[in-house]
């Protein structure tokens, strides 16, 4: 393992713990019996809470997946290389975004492609 990746890996492992504890803190909201009592307002607000919880969770689960994937790639010695152009990803970028899978230019290119209404990718 490259020396620089050692610190990144321990950051990723810490991050993983934080995300995991966030996910388990929110778990009690999953109980389903409160919807059977109370008036419609309560039901509406608890349904909304549920939705918000779900959104938070799915964001955290995405993050957890990205973090675990990065740890795995470090272990496999498959880390720090752009998944698109296979150039090494700058260490500064990895320190800022340890789960980054793409180098900055590939990432920017993908983000530009995703943004609707941009004209400079005109297809003739
Ligand atoms: Zn790249």
Q: In the prediction, which pLDDT does 26 show?
A: 65
> What distance in Å separates the CA atoms of residue 22 and residue 40, rounded to the nearest whole number?
29
**Coarse DSSP helix, strand, coil percentages of the chain, rounded to the nearest 5 percent:** 70, 0, 30
> What distance in Å separates the CA atoms of residue 43 and residue 24, rounded to the nearest whole number?
23
The CA 11 to ligand 1 mean position distance, Å, reads 23
The CA 94 to ligand 1 mean position distance, Å, reads 13
Q: How far apart, in Å, are the Cα atoms of 8 and each of 5, 37, 102?
A: 5, 48, 16
Q: Kindly give, in sequence order, each residue whose CB lies less than 8 Å from that of residue 57, ignoring residues fewer than 6 positions away.
A: 23, 26
Q: Is this prediction's pTM over 0.75?
A: no
Instruction: Please write the tens of the pLDDT for every residue from 38-80.
Output: 566 666 678 778 787 777 788 999 999 999 999 999 999 999 9
Instruction: Please write the tens of the pLDDT for every residue from 54-65.
Output: 777 889 999 999
Chain mean pLDDT for the chain:
83
Q: Kindly give, in sequence order, each residue whose CB lies less than 8 Å from that of residue 88, ignoring residues fewer than 6 positions away.
A: 80, 81, 82, 103
The CA 83 to ligand 1 mean position distance, Å, reads 7
The CA 28 to ligand 1 mean position distance, Å, reads 41
The domain locations on the chain are 1-78, 80-124
Q: In the prediction, which pLDDT does 28 show?
A: 58
């Amino acid at each position: 393992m490259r020396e620089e990746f050692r610190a990144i890996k321990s950051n990723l492992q810490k991050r993983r713990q934080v995300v995991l504890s966030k996910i388990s803190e929110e778990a009690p909201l999953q109980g389903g019996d409160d919807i059977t009592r109370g008036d419609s307002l309560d039901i509406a607000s608890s349904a909304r809470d549920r939705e918000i919880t779900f959104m938070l969770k799915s964001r955290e689960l995405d993050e957890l997946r990205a973090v675990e994937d990065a740890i795995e790639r470090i272990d496999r010695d498959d880390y720090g290389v752009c998944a698109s152009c296979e150039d090494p990803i700058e260490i500064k970028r990895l320190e800022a975004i340890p789960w980054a899978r793409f180098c900055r230019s590939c990432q920017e290119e993908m983000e530009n492609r995703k943004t609707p209404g941009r004209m400079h990718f005109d297809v003739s």
